[in-house]
Structures are given as structure tokens and as C-alpha cells.
Structure 1
Amino acid sequence: MLRKDYIMNTLVKRAQRGDAEAFISLMEECRMSFRRIAFGYLRNDEDVADAIQDTILDAFEHIGSLKKAEYFRTWVMRILINNCTRTYRKNKRHVSMGEGMEEGSFDAGASDVEFRQLLLILPEDSRTIFQLYFGEQFTTKEIAEILEMKENTVKSRLHRGKEQLRESLSDKTGSVQGSGKETGIGGIRYAETFFG
């Protein structure tokens, strides 16, 4: 077990025993992942903040029901996605990644911005899978658990999404293979990392 995994599991077990400091540490560890995933679903800072706040409250109330500490990330991301979906439906407005985001609303580095721009090419049902797989480093098995779908469905959507990105980028640039230079769409680099 990696040191980080060991520390996370220890924090989860302490939080399950009522240690508020351990719970706060867990939430701090997940903070950026929460924001990236929530922005994939929701249009503005207020909705994102509400979904994250609801997730923290739900996790705090139900952390005792988590059977195995090593499933914490999968469990808490499922809560977040459920809360984002609920907020999205409640607001009844079409949301897609990047559209309508306020300037400076998400403190992402250049590679995060490029990653989000790449995701805009994909249909909505593939974006979450790509965000969880490439952005948050979840396995296909973990994503299947989070999204409550078959692992083969996750793998299929990843494969189709890669093909869609390859075709779209190829149409815009003539080729996605090669030197690793700018691809020509809004400064998106590193596209080749998705096609390995």
C-alpha cells in the first residue's frame, strides 16, 4: 500500500470514530477533485459551492456507513456526482463543461484548462468518465462503481471518446500525432496523451 493510501485510510478510520480533524483533512485532500468534477456538471460558482457543501455534509453524516476505508474516494465521488445531478435537475438548465463559466472562476493551471477544452469535444455522457479516468486517476472499475454502470461500458465510452477526440483533432490540425506541439484548438497541447 502506498504511503498516501495508508494515510487516507487512517484518516477515514479516525473520521469514522468521530475525529473532526481527520474528516477536515479528508475534505481538504478532496477539495480540488470536488471542484473539477462539480464544474463538469454545473455552470457557476454558486451551484458548485452548494453541491460541494451538500457532499461534505452527506459524507460527514454517513461516513460511519462506509464499510471499507479504501473505498472512500469512490464513495465520496459518488455522493458528489449525485449532488451535482440533483442541483442540475433542480435548476433545469442545460449545463456543459466550460460554457458560461465566469472568468477566473476556477483556479486551474494551463494543463487543466487544456484538459477541459478537450473534454468539450466529447458528448456529455463521456465527459464525466474522462474526467474521472484522466483527471482524477480512477480505474475503470472504480468509475463503474461511482457511476453505477458496467465496467465494460466505461471502457467502451473511453475508447469511443478517444476515437472522437482523435477524429476531431485530426480534422482541425491534419494530424494529432507527431511533435507534441500546439494542436491548434485554443492552445490545447498534450492531446497525444489521450491516445496511448
Structure 2
Amino acid sequence: MTDLIKKAIYGDTDAFLELMDVNSLAMYKVAKGILGNDDDVADAVQNTILTCFEKLNTLKKPRYFKTWMIRILINECNKILSHYKKFNWDEEIPLIGQMDMSIAEFEFKEMLGRIDAPYRIILLLYYVEGFRISEIAEILDLNKNTVKTRLSRGRQQAKKEYLPPASKNDTLPQTISIQTRKG
């Protein structure tokens, strides 16, 4: 992968296109988690690809390409969100109605849609994209402890959203565990 990045940095257009193809699913997932709307996601991804192409020569360490690219994507998503805030539109993530989506995927996406945005992006980057806490801190320009706190609060919010409200007649304890990774 590093060789592909180096080729792209030195102007190999085919290498750049292959690099974008390899990372397109990751970009889509992150943008979808932030924006929710497929049209906005497409705009954010397209703008990210263009920005990456224009500024690829500014990348200092090829091994951090994905982190650099995701940060650009998040900035593009934030631009789109700030544009919508000017119009006072609610930030709702519509339900995704794919026919081939597994029940677990559907439940996960539905639960993510109910999580507050600062926690949603952290959960997405951590669990879906597999970034470490230090990488997430760098991508979002946050302190590592802030990322840890938001990850913890996001897990708590996910737990609250996922579990039904407990009634007094329930005799079995209601528990959910979200696997944690060292980051």
C-alpha cells in the first residue's frame, strides 16, 4: 500500500485512482455516519477525492495516508453540515432500507443514527474503521483523553438506545456488552 501511495505522490494517476478505489468504502461509511444522506455523502467523498488529488504532495508520511484522507473527509462533511445549519434544518439520519442488509447491520445503523454526533463519529472510526484512539485524536484534532471520554459516553448512549426500558416486572437483568479494543 505504501508503494501505491508513493507512486500517487509522484504523479501516477492510475496509482491514485487505485488508492481511492481501495479506500472508497471506508470513506462512504464515515461520511454516511456523519451526514446520513446519500447525496451529501457523494458530495463529501467527491470533494475529498479532489482535495486529496490536489494536495497529495503535502502528505509528509505515506503510512498516514488513510488518517490524512479521513481527516479531509470529516472536514468536508463538517462543511456540508455547517451549510445546512445556516438553513436551520434538523440533522436526522434517515433509515436505510437496503434489502440485502443483515438484521445486525440494520440494528447497528439504526442505533448509530440515534447517537449524538460527537460520539457517533468516534464509534464509527473506532469500531467500523478500526482506528486506534491516538489516530482518532489526530484525525479529529482532539486530545486522546477527550476521544476516550467520547468513546465511553458513546458506548453508554449505545447501550441505552439498544436496550428496551426496564420494567419492574422484569426478573432477568438487562445487559449488553460492547467489545473494547486496546487503542
TM over 0.5: yes
Residue 54 of structure 1 corresponds to 47
Match status 1:95 vs 2:91: yes
Matched, 1:25 2:21: no
Residue equivalent to 1:142: 135
* Alpha-carbon offset, residue 163 of structure 1: 2.4
Match of 1:73 in 2: 66
Distance between the aligned counterparts of 1:159 and 1:102, measured in 2? 26
SS of structure 2 residue aligned to 1:122: coil
Q: Secondary structure at the match of 2:150?
A: helix
Q: Are 2:84 and 1:86 equivalent residues in the alignment? A: no
2:179, 2:133 → 1: CA distance? 15
Deviation at 1:120, TM superposition (A): 2.9
Indicate yes or no: 2:33 matched with 1:40. yes
- Residues 82 and 114 (structure 1 numbering): CA distance in 2 closer, same or farther, change over 3 Å? same
Does residue 176 of the first structure (1) align with residue 169 of the second (2)?
no
CA distance in 1, matches of 2:175, 2:180: 9
Matched residue pairs, number?
172
Kept in 2, the 8 Å contact 1:162–1:195? The answer is no
SS at match of 2:11: coil
- Write out the 4+ residue segments of structure 1 that deviate beyond 2 Å after TM superposition: 91-96, 101-104, 106-115, 163-174, 192-196
State the Cα distance separating 1:79 from its structure 2 match.
0.4
Q: Distance in 1 between matches of 2:162 and 2:41?
A: 30
Q: Distance in 2 between matches of 1:169 and 1:45?
A: 25
1:121 Cα deviation (Å)? 3.7
> Deviations 1:32-65 (Å, cap 9, x if unpaired)?
1111111122242221111111000000000110
User: In the TM superposition, what are the counterparts of 1:154-165 in structure 2 within 5 Å?
Assistant: 154-165=147-158
Deviation, 1:110, is 4.6
- Corresponding residue number in structure 2 for 1:130: 123
- Structure 1 residues 28, 50: closer, same or farther in 2, change over 3 A? same
Could you tell which deviates more after superposition, 38-47 or 77-86? 38-47
1:81-140: CA deviation from partner (whole Å, max 9, x where unpaired): 0001111212333324x32x5644x98555433322222342221000000000100000
Q: What is the distance in 2 between the residues matched to 1:109 and 1:17?
A: 42
TM-score norm. by structure 2 comes to 0.83
Identical counterparts, % of pairs: 38
Aligned-pair RMSD on alpha carbons? 2.3
Q: What amino acid is aligned across from residue 137 of structure 2 in structure 1?
A: A
The answer for unaligned runs of 5 or more in structure 2 is 167-172
